[in-house]
Structures are given as C-alpha cells and as structure tokens.
Amino acid sequence: MIHVQYMKPFYTKVTDNTLRLVFAYQYFSITKDDELYHFIPVDGKEMIINLNTMQIENLSEIFVFQRGNRFVRYPLYQLLVQSDVHDHLMAIIDEAVSQKETVNLVTGKEESEIDDIISVLEEQNLERLIDEALAERNEELFYALVGKREKYQSKSG
C-alpha cells in the first residue's frame, strides 16, 4: 500500500462548487515499500473536486513521484484506491470549504442592512462635525460640512 507522507496544495481555489488543488514540487510525498518519493509536476499537477458530490473530476490525471533517478507514475484514481490520500484530502477540503463559507458570510439582505447602518453612522458623524465646527466658531468648516450633509441627504433621500 502507498502512504501519503505529506500533502499540501501549493495553490487552492474555490469557484462555485469546484475546488481546484494545484501541487508543486515536493508539496506532495508518498512512501512506497518504505521508500520516500516526492511529487514532481511533470504530467498532472492538479486535483479538481466537485464540492456538491465530493467527487474528484479528473481521475485520469497522472501524478509522477521521484526518488533519486527512479520515477513512479500513478493515475489519480489509482492513488485514491491504493493509498490513504482520502484522509489528507478531507482535511484540505474541509479547510477550503470553511474559508469559502467565511468569505460568503454576509447575504444580500444583510449587506443592505449593513449599508443602511453605515449611512446612519456617516450622517451622525457629519452632524457631530457640524456641532464641533459651531463650537469652534469655524464658519468656513461649518458651511463646507452643511454643504456635504445636503449633498448626502439628497443622494440618500
């Protein structure tokens, strides 16, 4: 059996329901017959995973590993069958999915509520600045801020 010694994607990208993992030189290593082989990006270098079905879409991709002057070539489907790559993949998938969910935490409705809150805060800030300009008897700043407030109110109202 083949054991995955180390597996860390060089590049990870989540788009819609697809996770793309790209591996670079020595970011993926396996042991076969107690010998360590390092991945080299000669042939295939990426795994494409459908996040809805959790299936790898490019099973025919050939991964090449090297130990000294010896090379072993494994199609991705063979790696999945003969090794513990699933265990390592699940951790990578979980991390990528949680990052995607973190990015998409705010829904459209929440975003408009956030925009409304920001508008209210900006308006309150303008009022505070106008009060400060009055307190400091800064007529020029006062009229500039009142002009901004009027533009702001006409834009939002």
Predicted local confidence at residue 57, as pLDDT: 94
Mean pLDDT for all residues in the chain: 87
Tokens representing 147 are 């002009």
Asked whether the predicted pLDDT for residue 142 surpasses 60, the reply is: yes
For the segment 74-113, what is each residue's pLDDT rounded down to a tens digit? 999 999 999 889 889 998 888 887 776 555 555 667 777 8
Tokens representing 17 are 């329901």
Asked whether the predicted pLDDT for residue 48 surpasses 70, the reply is: yes
Predicted local confidence at residue 149, as pLDDT: 87
Contact between 88 and 7 (Cβ < 8 Å):
yes
Domain ranges in the chain are: 3-103, 108-156
Predicted local confidence at residue 155, as pLDDT: 74
Higher pLDDT, 96 or 147: 147
Share of the chain above pLDDT 70, in %: 93
Helix/strand/coil percentages in the chain, nearest 5: 45, 30, 25
Secondary structure letter of residue 2 according to DSSP: B
Average of per-residue pLDDT across 39-62: 91
Contact between 61 and 90 (Cβ < 8 Å):
no
In the three-class reduction of DSSP (H, G, I as helix; E, B as strand; rest coil), residue 11 is classed as strand
Asked whether the predicted pLDDT for residue 28 surpasses 70, the reply is: yes
Contact between 149 and 125 (Cβ < 8 Å):
no
In the three-class reduction of DSSP (H, G, I as helix; E, B as strand; rest coil), residue 94 is classed as helix
Tokens representing 68 are 């000294």
Phi, psi of 84 (to 5 degrees): -95, 30
Average of per-residue pLDDT across 132-147: 93
